Amino acid sequence: MYLLSVCRPSCLAVLRYCIVISIRLKSASQSQPHYWTMGFFILLSHDSLQMDSCTNDHYGPDCRFQCKCKTGCSASGECQTDGVCRNGYFGYLCQFRDLAFLKTEQDMPILTDNDDQTCVSDDTLNRATVSMLTGRFSYFRLVIKEAMHKSLDTISFVLKNADEKVSCERETYNVTIVAHIKDYYCSTATDVTSLEVVGAGVSSLCTVNIGGGRNLAIKSKFSLSSVSSYPQTNGEAGVDGYYPTDPTFDSETCFYANGSEDTYDFLVLFKMPVLIDYFILINRRETDSVKYLANLEIITYDAYNGTVMRYTQVGDPSQGNGVYTIKHSSKNVPISMFRLENKTLLQFCEIEAYGECQYGCYGLDCTKICSDKCTDVACEVNGRCRECNDGYFGDTCDQACGRCAKNRFCLKLNGSCFDGCQPGFYPPVCKKECVAGMYGLDCSTPCNSNCPERLHQGYGSVLEMFSRKIWKQLRIRLLSTLRR
């Protein structure tokens, strides 16, 4: 069987994309599948993204992504009417799992009720603890009352696992979404159980979301060892985003391998290598069928087909689980595919892989490249730069700073120059020259009536001392002096 999958080891490579042909061979004498990978580079435009005409509440490339908005989505995935995400989701196009909402026991439920209109109203409060589903931390979002948006700058945070503090493994940073909404990034190597926010702004907080990644396996390409004809199922059911909520087998939303294999496997391929934090595997719910995943293995592979992780479920409990949450041991290593394998039988209702694009990539399916004007070529899932290189501003850092004073640079948010403008330009972005008759800092000084009609507005403060006649006389005297 031949499988085509687009991948790239690094979004920052000169040749951005490669086509990886994964050839899967299984001989009669070999019970384990073997994979050979051949890569060759081709040039493609990194801005290309075809938006298909989708149905059934899906959108995006290949119609892969489910609408997670309460009132439905536009063709591009934007929430219609009120812009509110379904419970348990938040962030860009409501694709991020909210680990705070999913943790039902909270000291301050008003902060995790998925309602930005319900806010804290205690002026004495300066500290709040938000619990989360246990896992490694990536980022959180704070929403504050619009009138109190400046108070966001007063808030700091502490991560804990039970009573022990947990440190970020890399430097933290924050991104302002709009004035009263800010994202805070802190990646941890160990588990976190709660987030504590501290500061005067806590008294005006409305919402705290804690990011649990987004499902990047949904509707991905796949390969399988076999598929059952009775009950009749298909591989798509394993990554379609749907699974039954009652304890009955549904052949339309669950995968069932043929029962005549020595080893059963299900391979999922990503369009581009991605960073996966954890997997969620939804088992069959019938009591007598749950046990078949008790000895499951999950193997992840990098872009060069090297094994990154081999996880084995050791059969504890022996009867199996209804839902398995499996931590990826190498969350900072981009993986191009993963495989489920079992020697007993392979049947499940959904496999989800939660994570994010690798460094330098963005987009729903992580196939777009961050602007080279982003600092360190780092951007968010929507392409918004975390910071801009010196001399640029805007969401994607595509606008050049104006004529800033002292040759300094400008604010990323709006292009305002830190120290004002060079003489001859209007603040705050310092791109518009003074109108005729005005000059100097901020174009605030009117020209003297003796000034020439046309002079450079930036140097009016000097030129106004000289009329044409005086300047001519001084020039004659200077030349006469030099000739002596």
Question: 205 and 239 share a domain?
Answer: no
Question: 426 falls in which pLDDT band (50, 70, 90)?
Answer: very high
pLDDT exceeds 80 at position 304: yes
Rounded to two decimals, what is the model's pTM?
A: 0.81
Average pLDDT over residues 147-166: 96
Residue 163 lies in a domain: yes
Report how far residue 454's alpha carbon sits from residue 466's, in angstroms, rounded to the nearest whole number: 13
pLDDT tens, residue by residue, 7-56: 344 565 433 444 443 444 343 334 444 444 433 333 333 333 444 578 77
Among residues of the chain, what percentage have pLDDT more than 70?
81
Are 195 and 132 in contact by the 8 Å Cβ rule? The answer is: yes
Q: How far apart are CA 482 and CA 359, in angstroms?
A: 64
Residues 142, 250 within the same domain: no
Place of tokens 């960073």: 275
Domain finish residue from 341, 357, 373: 357
Is there a cis peptide before residue 9, judged by omega within 30 degrees of 0?
no
Same-domain status, 199 and 245? no
Same-domain pairing of 208 and 226: no
**DSSP-derived secondary structure letter, 43:** -
pLDDT digits (tens, 9 = 90+) for 158-217: 999 999 999 999 889 998 899 999 999 999 999 999 999 999 999 999 999 999 999 999
Has residue 133 been placed in a domain? yes
> Above pLDDT 90, what percent of the chain?
57
- Binned at pLDDT 50, 70 and 90, residue 482 comes out as low
Q: Does residue 320 surpass a pLDDT of 90?
A: no
Residue 244 sits in a domain whose CATH number is: 2.60.120.260
Size of the chain in residues: 484
Q: What is the pLDDT of residue 81?
A: 76
- What was the pLDDT predicted at 415? 92
For residue 478, tell me if it sits in a domain. no
Rounded CA-CA distance 307/310 in Å is 7
Task: Please say if the pLDDT value at position 461 is more than 70.
Answer: no
Residues 156 and 240 in one domain: no
User: What's residue 273's pLDDT?
Assistant: 97
User: Same domain, yes or no, for 226 and 254?
Assistant: yes
pLDDT (tens digit per residue) in 413-422: 889 998 889 9
Nearest to 335 by CA among 313, 351, 352, 356: 356
Q: Say if 27 falls within a structural domain.
A: no
Domain with 312 in it: 221-357
Residue 228 and residue 207 share a domain: no
Q: Are 111 and 195 in contact (CB under 8 A)?
A: no
Residue 327 lies in a domain: yes
Same-domain check for residues 301 and 245: yes
Residues 173 and 251 in one domain: no
> Which one, of 302, 241, 306, 305, lies nearest residue 275 by Cα?
302
pLDDT tens-digit readout, 372-405 = 999 999 999 999 998 899 999 999 999 999 999 8
What is d(CA 33, CA 1) in angstroms, rounded to the nearest whole number? 11
Is residue 427, in this structure, part of any structural domain at all? no
At 318, the pLDDT band (50, 70, 90 cuts) reads low
Radius of gyration of the chain, Cα coordinates, nearest whole angstrom: 29
Cβ pair 381, 356 in contact under 8 A:
yes
Residue 229 DSSP code: B
Q: What is the mean pLDDT of residues 84-95?
A: 96
Average pLDDT over residues 93-109: 96
d(CA 88, CA 93): 13
Q: Are residues 231 and 342 in the same domain?
A: yes
The mean per-residue pLDDT over the stretch 104-131 comes to 96
3-state secondary structure 289-310: CHHHHCCCEEEEECCCCCEEEE
Residues 270 and 245 in one domain: yes
Are both 261 and 303 inside the same structural domain? yes
Residue 452 lies in a domain: no
Instruction: Look at 319 and 117; give whichever has higher pLDDT.
Output: 117
Q: Model confidence at 470, in pLDDT bands (50, 70, 90)?
A: low
Of the three residues 187, 212, 237, the one that is the final residue of a domain is 212
User: Number of structural domains, the chain?
Assistant: 2
Which pLDDT tens digit goes with each residue over 227-278? Answer: 887 777 888 999 999 988 777 778 888 898 887 778 899 999 999 999 999 9
| Single residue among 339, 357, 375 that ends a domain in this structure | 357
Per the model's pLDDT, the better-predicted residue between 476 and 322 turns out to be 322
Return all residues near 28 (Cβ < 8 A) that are at least 6 apart. Answer: none
- Which residues, in sequence order, are bridge partners of residue 278? 327, 354
pLDDT tens digit sequence for 57-81 = 899 999 999 999 998 998 889 998 7
User: pLDDT category, 484, cuts 50, 70, 90?
Assistant: low
Residue 183, in any domain of the structure:
yes
